[in-house]
Amino acid sequence: MLVLSRKKNESIVVDDSIVITVVEIRGDKVRLGIEAPREVPIHRSEVRDAMAAQAEPVVTVDPPVEENASAD
């Protein structure tokens, strides 16, 4: 993990197309502004985790197939 220090109104640029700016620092909270192309999804981690949990496929197991031991 890369850890950077930024002050209010300072930014970080990711891949030349995403700019993250510190908008406000209030107590233990930091407000960030994010400029990114429309096609780049941006979610808080807890929202992304909830979306991923809902998108996980439901695995079903079929009962075992009985084979006919005698082929009369």
Domain coverage including residue 13: 1-38
Domain membership flag for residue 70: no
| Tens-place pLDDT, residues 15-63 | 999 999 999 999 999 999 999 999 999 999 999 999 888 887 767 777 7
Which residues does residue 20 pair with via DSSP β-bridges, in sequence order?
12, 34
Do strands 29-35 and 11-14 pair parallel, antiparallel, or not at all (unpaired)? unpaired
Radius of gyration of the chain (CA): 25
Instruction: Read off the pLDDT of residues 6-20 as tens digits, 9 standing for 90 and up.
Output: 999 999 999 999 999
Is 46 within a domain?
no
**Does some domain include residue 64?**
no
SS3 of residue 55 by DSSP: helix
Euclidean distance between CA atoms 4 and 11, whole angstroms:
10
Domain count, the chain: 1
Alpha carbons 30 and 10: distance in angstroms, whole number? 12
In the DSSP assignment, the letter for residue 11 is E
